[in-house]
């Protein structure tokens, strides 16, 4: 049930990009408060794209599970901002069985009105499913597209090799930096990635890889 539902979800989002463009204030409030009626909201305010995604999975039978909540009964659940607002994984889709996680996929949402988007701390993460909403048209004639892909499948070999070197540089700098007076330096990326390479052929190939990955999802470690 989990695998079929999640695979169908991503296929539907690619087929109809407008599904992630809805305005849902009540869902924004639910996510922002992590389900607590007395909360004022935690972290950055959820986007319309995030609220739309949550509403879609809720209609597919996934129940909202707030961070830190007790292990739920058997069934399908979705979690929001598992590691915080600036880390990979806007959503976790899970199936619980017998008090443990039977299957899980991590989803990171990206949205741009142009043809490039920002990456959290600079790069794509392996086995995270990226849902990228972008404009393949022009400012006067927008053409909405949704690209779904595993993080490791998106970059070209050239891009991956360059980023591995850059990430090594960042790690070396951050591990060896000392205080400079009252300043504590820290290198952090704010890289952008262009959507122009997301052709219809690549879109199909990446979606097929996602569906195959979901079909192989097993017990969580």
128 CB burial (10 A radius; 0-12, 13-18, 19+): middle
The residue among 206 and 41 whose pLDDT is bigger is 206
pLDDT confidence of residue 140:
83
Beta strands 91-97; 100-111: pairing state: antiparallel
Domain boundaries, the chain: 2-152+189-215
Quick check: 220 pLDDT over 90? no
Nearest to 112 by CA among 51, 47, 52: 47
Q: Which residues contact 70 (CB under 8 A, 6 or more apart)?
A: none
In the structure encoding, which two tokens stand for residue 162, read together?
Answer: 């360059």
Question: SS3 of 186, please?
Answer: coil
20 has a pLDDT exceeding 80: yes
Q: What is the model's pLDDT at position 202?
A: 97
pTM of the shown model? 0.90
When pLDDT is cut at 50, 70 and 90, the band that residue 34 belongs to is: confident
- Please say whether the beta carbons of 152 and 88 come within 8 A: no
Q: Is the confidence at residue 56, as pLDDT, over 50?
A: yes
Contact 64, 77 (CB under 8 A): yes
Identify the top-confidence range among 22-36, 76-90, 96-110: 96-110
Q: Indicate the pLDDT class of residue 82, thresholds 50, 70 and 90.
A: confident
Other CB atoms closer than 10 Å to residue 95's CB: what's the count?
Answer: 21
**Torsions phi, psi for 161 (to 5 deg):** -65, -40
- Strand-pairing partners, residue 64, are 78
Supply φ then ψ for residue 79, to 5 degrees: -115, 150
DSSP string, 125-165: -TTEEEEEEEE-S-SSS--EEEEEEEGGGSS-HHHHHHHHH
- For 113-158, the pLDDT digits (tens) are 889 999 877 899 999 999 999 999 987 898 999 999 999 999 999 9
């Amino acid at each position: 049930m989990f695998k079929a539902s999640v695979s169908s979800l991503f296929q539907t989002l690619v087929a109809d990009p407008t599904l992630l463009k809805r305005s849902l204030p009540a869902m924004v409030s639910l996510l922002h408060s992590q389900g607590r009626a007395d909360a004022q909201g935690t972290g950055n305010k959820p986007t319309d794209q995030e609220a739309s995604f949550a509403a879609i999975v809720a209609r597919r039978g996934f129940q909202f599970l707030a961070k830190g909540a007790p292990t739920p009964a058997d069934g399908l659940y979705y979690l929001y901002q598992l590691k915080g607002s600036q880390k990979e994984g806007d959503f976790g889709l899970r199936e619980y069985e017998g008090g443990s996680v039977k299957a899980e996929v991590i989803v990171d949402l990206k949205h741009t009105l142009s043809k490039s988007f920002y990456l959290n701390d600079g790069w794509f993460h392996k086995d995270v499913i990226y849902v990228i909403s972008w404009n393949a048209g022009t400012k006067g004639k927008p053409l909405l597209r949704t690209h779904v892909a595993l993080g490791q499948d998106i970059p070209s070999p050239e891009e991956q090799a360059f980023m591995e070197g850059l990430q090594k540089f960042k790690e070396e700098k951050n591990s060896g930096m000392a205080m400079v007076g009252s300043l504590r330096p820290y290198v952090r990326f704010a890289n952008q990635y262009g959507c122009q390479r997301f052709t219809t052929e690549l879109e199909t190939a990446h979606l097929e890889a996602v569906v195959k990955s979901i079909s192989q999802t097993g017990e969580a470690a």
